[in-house]
Amino acid sequence: DAKTTQPTSMDCAEGRAANLPCNHSTISGNEYVYWYRQIHSQGPQYIIHGLKNNETNEMASLIITEDRKSSTLILPHATLRDTAVYYCIAEYSGGGADGLTFGKGTHLIIQP
- Least distance CB 102 / other proteins (angstroms): 4
Q: Of the candidates 31, 78, 86, 105, which one interacts with other proteins according to CB under 8 A?
A: 105
- Minimum CB distance to other proteins, residue 94 (Å): 8
- Per-residue binding string, other proteins, 2-41, x by CB under 8 A, is ------------------------------x-x-------
57 in contact with other proteins (CB under 8 A): no
CA gap 112, 102 in Å, rounded: 29
- Verify binding: residue 42, other proteins, rule CB under 8 A: yes
What phi and psi, each to the nearest 5 degrees, are found at residue 81? -70, -10
Which positions touch other proteins (CB under 8 A)?
32, 34, 42-46, 49, 87, 91, 93, 95-105
